[in-house]
Amino acid sequence: MYIEKTFAQKFRSFLTFAAIPLFAFSVVLVIPFLVGVFLSFTDWNGIQAIDSFDYNVIGLSNFTAALSDPTYINTLVLTFAYVTLVVVITNVIAFLVAVLVTSNLPARNFFRAAFFIPNLIGGVILGFIWQFIFSTFITRLGDLTGIPLFQYSWLVETDKAFIALVIVGVWQLSGYMMLIYIAGLVGIPQEVIEASTIDGATTSQQLLHIKIPLMIQAFTISIFLTLRNSFMVFDVNLSLTRGGPFRSTEMATLHIYNEAFISQHFGTAQAQAIILFVIVAVVATTQVIISKRLEGRAL
Amino acid sequence: MSKNTRRIVFVLFILVLTLSVAAVQAQDRVQVTILGTIKPEIADPFNEAVATYNAAQDQYEVVVIPRDGDPVQMMTSLSASGNMPTITNMGQEFSLFRDTLCDVTDTTFSQHAFPGTQADVTIDGRVYGMPITIEAFGLLYNQAVLDEAVGGTFDPATITTRSELAELLAAVDALESTEAAIHVSGLDWSLGAHFTNVMFTDQSADAAERVAFIDALKAGEAALVENEVYAGWLDTLDLLLQYNQNAGSPLAPTYDDGVLALGLGEVGFWFMGNWALPNLFEMNPDVAYGILPVPISDDPATYGNTAISIGVPSNLVIDCAQSTPEEQAGAIDFLNWFVTDPVGQDYWVNRFNFLPVYDTFEIQPQDAASQQILQYAADGLSLQWMNNLYPAGGWQAMGASMQKYVTGQIDRAGLAGELEAYWQTVE
């Protein structure tokens, strides 16, 4: 249909297919991002119009302020702990569940749907649902059973509140990752499996030596998505614990938000956001490069 | 339909849509926007009041812009994008926005405001905001529970020292009908903004010396552990925590748990303010409440032992940087309506539960606690809201430290260290 020879024709098909998405992408992502980077070098106070230029360029002092904020460093450490736990647990659970629901389990479609549903609930609502569970349901359970673990709300003790965040993060993400693993599992050619069965491979041998190497791409995608999502956790953090008790469960993004809108240090917050962006970009790129190498070896 | 007919129909459809939108906007009434409903708790009556006002005159139309999430976040983004609402309700944000606000000194509502209530929004003798109410916090009490505890009618004037309060707490605690004597909310804003205020405001009867105390903290020259008021204040906090309903997990209860506990008489006291009265009356309009000071020593003459913290929580301000003069006039007219029109006054006092700080009000609050607060104010027994002087992020930081103290993570010295460290980060 489209045979593009002249520049005009190429331009026309570009306009037809790419112009609107490109425009939307630039307006809502690229331009705000660039403006954000620019503002991190200024003393913008948060309410001046961006194009008024009533503010001054102050070089790197926002970045030095950002890095000398001890709570920011603490939230970064906490975020790393959270990311590690969520990435590992989510992928293990998602993979196991995927193996389970692709086997000859009765009602497996029901289970697939059930595991996927948490992903369809928005993070804020999800936070409130789990807030009820951790603070009201658990204490009621504690009253009934007398188990000390359930005596008080989990959201008011530092360690338990952190565990609660991990539980909710894992619960929300694993359904989606399960779908990706299912796609990987059912995409493996049936002949290979049959051949290995004839050669006498056990189920676990099949899983470890045939299935996993052949679906390594699913791992690349899933780990990338869980990394990104757990680094950027905000809505669940905000609605489940609000960073409490005493700001001990404040993740990096929530801290940046508080720094900007509660402490009204817009420059520092902007610089902290840029630093977080660089960290996430480096970690995610490294992960993708390593996984791609593994894929190359597996194939 | 041929291709061309479909095109024509489509264009016509768009045209009709555009025209109808234009027609709606082309009304001759000036639109006055207001961010949120002053407070989320009064959303329903406020929307009703707006509808009543819009129906009562045909010059202006007030439109409420729904407020979702953090108010500062909304204000900053609306302002930076050139969409600042005409009227906004501002607390601490006032200092950030003050260069963009209208001078309202000569308006009716400003001329009739009680002296002193506009202090926070006065710059160089000019007034830039309209105080919505005065609020007071202290030990809210359930009259029926305390009557039972003292075996008669409880008289708030009998409590002027910590030991008298301790006896009363013990008596309430001993009642069979109660679970505990007091409900202490572990919320960071309650502890960080309101409970800390008692310590800062009780420092001195002289306003300049109170500010000097904060300046000394900023400069790192004040040692809290050696401060008499600090010690007495924590002695009282320890007393309250001893009789706390949720002593096992002090941070667990929510605001609503406090409403239930005091309203149902599970406890006799709740450290909170009169903004909780509408919530309490919603549950049971027949219960009477009152408010007691937080005594910090055993000497009735100690400054603060017989007074409650009273202040203006926020002010309605009018944007002058982005609104047209017509919109500004509409905003003033709308705010005057609450102060001068009997219908507006009725909403202000009876539906919003605001304590009117204007001498034009014919309607006065009828419940005992509100009258008690107005009486404290009239008697000069009001303590300054030093929390209005906390910098942005201040109560959150101190609230976190208070939560650590309340849960036993840190002791007095640790709390003093954290509070001092926080103030030293403030410029």
For residue B77, give the nearest of A49, A38, A52, A27 by alpha carbon.
Answer: A49
Calculate mean pLDDT across residues A119-133: 83
pLDDT reported for residue A135:
82
Residues of B in contact with A246 (CB under 8 A): 188, 399-401, 403-404, 409
With contacts defined as CB-CB under 8 Å, which chain A residues touch B392? 262-264
CA distance B374 to chain A (A): 32
**Rounded Cα distance, A114 and A111, in Å:** 5
pLDDT of amino acid B336: 93
Interface contacts (A, B; CB < 8 Å):
69
Residues of B whose CB is below 8 A from A48: 80
Segment A187-201, tens digit of pLDDT: 888 888 888 888 888
The complex's ipTM? Answer: 0.72
What one-character-per-residue DSSP string does A88-105 give?
Answer: HHHHHHHHHHHHHHHSS-
Given strand B87-90, what is the order of strands in its sheet?
B60-65, B30-35, B87-90, B315-318, B130-131
Is there a contact between A261 and B97 if contact means CB atoms under 8 Å apart? no
A49/B249 Cβ within 8 A: no
The pLDDT of residue B191 is: 92
Q: Is residue A2 part of a domain?
A: no
A173, part of any domain: yes
On average, the pLDDT of chain B sits at: 87
Question: Residue A246 belongs to what domain range?
Answer: 60-298
- Residues A233-244 as b/e (b if ≥16 CB within 10 A, e otherwise) read bebbbbbbbbbb
Question: What pLDDT was estimated at residue B12?
Answer: 67
Nearest to B35 by CA among B279, B313, B388, B319: B319
- B76/A46 CB distance under 8 A: yes
- Can you read off the two tokens belonging to residue B251? 């941070």
Whether residue B80 and residue A262 make contact (CB cut-off 8 A), yes or no, is no
Q: Please indicate whether residue B272 or residue A241 has the higher confidence score (pLDDT).
A: B272
Is the pLDDT reported for residue A243 higher than 90? no
pLDDT digits (tens, 9 = 90+) for A155-166: 878 888 899 889
Q: Which of A151, A244, A266 sits opposite B188 (nearest CB)?
A: A244
Closest CA to A236 of A129, A156, A91: A129
**Rounded to a whole number, what is the distance in Å from the CA of B75 to chain A's nearest CA?**
8
| pLDDT tops 80 at residue B375 | yes
pLDDT given at position A201: 85
- Residue A32 CA to residue A34 CA, distance in Å, equals 5
Distance of CA B388 to the CA centre of its chain: 11
Task: Report pLDDT for B49.
Answer: 92
CA B103 to chain centre: 23
CA distance A195 to chain B (A): 58
The pLDDT-based confidence of B157 (bands split at 50, 70, 90) is: confident
Banded model confidence at residue A172, pLDDT cuts 50, 70, 90: confident
Q: Say yes or no for a CB contact (<8 Å) between B393 and A48.
A: no
State how far the Cα of A215 lies from the Cα of A182, in Å rounded to an integer: 10
pLDDT, average across residues A47-66:
82
Mean pLDDT of B99-105: 91
pLDDT band (50, 70, 90) for residue B41: confident
Tokens of B201: 């405001």
Contact A247 B76 (CB under 8 A): no
pLDDT of residue B389: 83
| Range of weakest confidence among A72-81, B132-141, B246-255, B309-318 | B246-255
Which is nearest to A273 in space by CA: A18, A3, A11, A36? Answer: A36
Task: State the pLDDT confidence band at B378, using cuts at 50, 70 and 90.
Answer: confident
Could you count the other beta carbons within 10 Å of the beta carbon of residue A230?
23
CB under 8 Å to B56, separation ≥6 — which residues? B337, B341, B343
Contacts with A244 from chain B: Cβ below 8 Å: 188, 251, 400, 403
Give the closest-approach CA distance of A221 to chain B in angstroms: 33
Is the distance from CB of B243 to CB of B181 less than 8 angstroms?
yes
What superfamily in CATH does domain B28-134+313-359 come from?
Periplasmic binding protein-like II (3.40.190.10)
In chain A, residues with a C-beta closer than 8 Å to the C-beta of B425 are none
The most confident of the ranges A55-59, B175-179, B238-242 is: B238-242
Does residue A12 form part of some domain? Answer: no
In a mutational test of the A interface, the residue from B35, B67, B68, B70 whose CB has the highest number of chain A CBs within 10 Å is B70
Which of B67, B90, B95, B249 to mutate against chain A (most A CBs within 10 Å)? B249
Q: Do B96 and A46 touch (CB under 8 A)?
A: yes
Mutation target to probe the B interface, by most B beta carbons within 10 A, among A28, A42, A47, A239 is A47
pLDDT bin (cut points 50, 70, 90) of residue B317 is: very high
> B358: which strand partners?
B113
| B249 closest CB neighbour out of A50, A156, A266 | A156
What integer is the mean pLDDT of B363-383?
84
Q: Which residues of chain A approach chain B closer than 8 Å at the C-beta? A: 45-50, 135, 139, 151-153, 155-157, 244-247, 258, 261-264, 266
**Chain B environment of A258 (Cβ under 8 Å):** 393, 396
Q: What percent of chain A has pLDDT over 90?
A: 18
- By a Cβ cutoff of 8 Å, what residues of chain B touch chain A? 70, 72-73, 75-76, 79-80, 82, 96-97, 100, 186, 188, 248-252, 254, 392-393, 396, 399-401, 403-404, 407, 409
Res. A140: pLDDT tops 70 = yes
Cβ within 8 Å, pair B249-A152: yes
* Angstrom distance (rounded) from CA A24 to CA A20: 6
How does pLDDT run across B47-69, given as a tens digit for each residue? 999 999 999 998 899 999 888 77
Query: Which backbone phi and psi does B262 adopt, to 5 degrees?
Result: -75, -40
Most confident of the following: A146-160, B26-40, B190-204, B357-371: B190-204
Nearest to A47 among B76, B250, B407 (CB): B76
pLDDT at B10: 65
pLDDT at A143 over 90: no
Question: Is the Cβ–Cβ distance between A127 and A133 less than 8 Å?
Answer: no
pLDDT on residue B18:
61
- Note the pLDDT tens digit of each residue in A214-231: 888 888 889 999 998 898
Residue B332 in this model has a pLDDT that exceeds 90:
yes
Q: CB-based contacts of A65: which residues, under 8 Å, 6+ apart? A: A265, A267, A268, A271
Q: What is the pLDDT of residues B125-150, one digit of tens each?
A: 899 999 998 889 999 999 999 898 88
Maximum C-alpha span of chain B: 94
pLDDT at position A113: 87
- Asked if pLDDT for residue A121 goes beyond 90, the answer is no
Mean pLDDT of B267-276: 90
Chain center to CA of B66: 20
The pLDDT score that the predictor gives to residue B64 is 92
Specify if A50 maps to a domain.
no
- Which of A152, A261, A266 faces B248 most closely, judged by CB atoms? A152
Closest chain B C-alpha to A171 CA, distance in angstroms:
23
Q: Are the C-beta atoms of residues B288 and B367 closer than 8 Å to each other?
A: yes
Shortest CA distance from A155: residue in chain B = B252
Pick the CATH number of B135-311+375-425 from 3.40.640.10, 3.40.190.10, 3.90.1170.40, 3.30.460.80: 3.40.190.10
Query: Smallest Cα–Cα separation from B270: which of B299, B287, B296, B294?
Result: B294
Domain boundaries, chain B: 28-134+313-359, 135-311+375-425
Min Cα–Cα distance to chain A from B289, Å? 28
CATH code of A185's domain:
1.10.3720.10
Per-residue pLDDT band at B152 (split at 50, 70, 90): confident
Q: Provide the token pair at B292.
A: 């007691």
Residues B232-249: tens digit of each pLDDT: 999 999 999 999 998 888
- Total domains in chain A come to 1
Across the range B248-274, mean pLDDT stands at 89
Nearest CA in chain B to A153: B252
Q: Are strands B182-183 and B269-273 parallel, antiparallel or unpaired?
A: parallel
| pLDDT given for residue B334 in this prediction | 93
Query: What is the structure's pLDDT at B20?
Result: 58
Instruction: Decide if pLDDT at B422 tops 70.
Output: yes
The confidence score (pLDDT) of residue B338 equals: 92
Give residue A23's pLDDT band: very low, low, confident or very high (50, 70, 90): very high
- Tell me the CA distances in angstroms from B295 to A80, B48, B143, B191, B206, one per residue in order: 46, 41, 19, 16, 18
Q: Is the pLDDT of residue B27 over 70?
A: no
Close Cβ partners of A295 (under 8 Å, ≥ 6 residues apart):
A216, A217, A220
C-alpha distance from B73 to closest chain A C-alpha (Å): 6
Q: Residue A26's pLDDT is what?
A: 93
